[in-house]
Structure formats: C-alpha cells, structure tokens
C-alpha cells in the first residue's frame, strides 16, 4: 500500500493505555516508561465529557519551570490536554500528520464514530516508513 493511501486505522496502535485523572504526574510518567509509550489516555469521568491525554511532551514542559519534585505534587488533570485533538479512523496519513503538526500534538486518539479505537503517533508513521521504503 502506498503511503498516501494509508489511513489512521492502518497505522494506529490498538492497545489503549489509560491513567486516572487524579493520579500524580510522576505515576503517569512511570507508567509510560514501564510500557515504553509516549502518552496515556485519560477516560472521561462523566458521560458526555471530553477525553484527555497526557504525554511525555506535557511532562517535559513542566521541567522547564521546576525540578522533578513537581511531578509528584501535581495530578494528571492539571497537566493533561483536554479536549484532545482526535483523528477519524478513515483520515489519510498525510492529512493526519498535517493536522498533528499544525496543532502541536505528537499522538492523537483515533475515533470510529464516537468510540476511541486506537492512538496514532509520529512514531507509528516513521516506523512504517522505515519498514516500507
């Protein structure tokens, strides 16, 4: 399949890792390191509320203003991105990359209708390119 024909569904990771919004940022970071991933989805606490996402990028940005001890003092809901930039599962990869680049996100939930079915990251895209070109 050609790169331009790929969709978010073709390259997304289907293993959805989550974290509670009231967990410490340090707990979230340790979970990401343990799982070797770059972000965690934050489930909506109430029906109809937006999903959140916390990423390594969100955490690193905290370290510019404070030391690592801040990570145990803050909870995920204080640093997560919400609402998230999400991608429809049928969106072509070049369009996904452009949307992610323009909005400054490196990972985005992939949606089928109103359900999260995966997460697409820049890493997924570059891994495909490395394996297929």
The pLDDT of residue 45 is 73
Q: Are strands 39-42 and 52-55 parallel, antiparallel or unpaired?
A: antiparallel
Q: Is the peptide bond before 10 cis (omega within 30 degrees of 0)?
A: no
Instruction: Quote the CA–CA distance of 76 and 30 in Å, as a whole number.
Output: 13
Instruction: Quote the CA–CA distance of 30 and 21 in Å, as a whole number.
Output: 15
Instruction: Quote the CA–CA distance of 129 and 133 in Å, as a whole number.
Output: 6
- How many C-beta neighbours within 10 Å does residue 117 have? 15
- How many C-beta neighbours within 10 Å does residue 89 have? 19
What proportions of the chain, in percent to the nearest 5, are helix, strand and coil?
40, 25, 35
Instruction: Quote the CA–CA distance of 60 and 33 in Å, as a whole number.
Output: 13
Q: pLDDT digit string (tens) for 54-92?
A: 999 999 988 887 889 999 999 999 999 988 999 999 999
The pLDDT of residue 13 is 96
β-sheet bridge partners, residue 88: 111
Q: pLDDT digit string (tens) for 5-54?
A: 999 999 999 999 999 999 999 999 999 999 999 999 999 877 555 689 99
The pLDDT of residue 50 is 66
The structure's pTM equals: 0.89
Instruction: Quote the CA–CA distance of 74 and 130 in Å, as a whole number.
Output: 37
The pLDDT of residue 47 is 57
Residue that is written with structure tokens 């390259």 in the block: 11
Superfamily of domain 3-132: CBS-domain (3.10.580.10)
Q: What is the mean pLDDT of residues 98-124?
A: 95
């Amino acid at each position: 399949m050609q790169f331009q024909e790929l969709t978010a569904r073709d390259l997304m990771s289907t293993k959805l890792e989550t974290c509670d919004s009231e967990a410490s940022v340090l707990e979230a970071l340790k979970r990401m390191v343990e799982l070797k991933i770059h972000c965690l989805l934050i489930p909506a606490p109430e029906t109809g509320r937006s999903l959140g996402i916390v990423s390594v990028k969100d955490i690193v940005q905290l370290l510019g203003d404070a030391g690592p001890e801040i990570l145990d003092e803050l909870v995920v809901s204080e640093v997560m991105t919400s609402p998230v930039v999400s991608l429809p599962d049928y969106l072509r990869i070049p369009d996904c990359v452009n949307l992610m680049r323009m909005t400054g996100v490196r990972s985005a939930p992939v949606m089928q209708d109103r359900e999260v079915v995966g997460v697409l990251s820049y890493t997924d895209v570059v891994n495909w390119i490395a394996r297929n070109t």
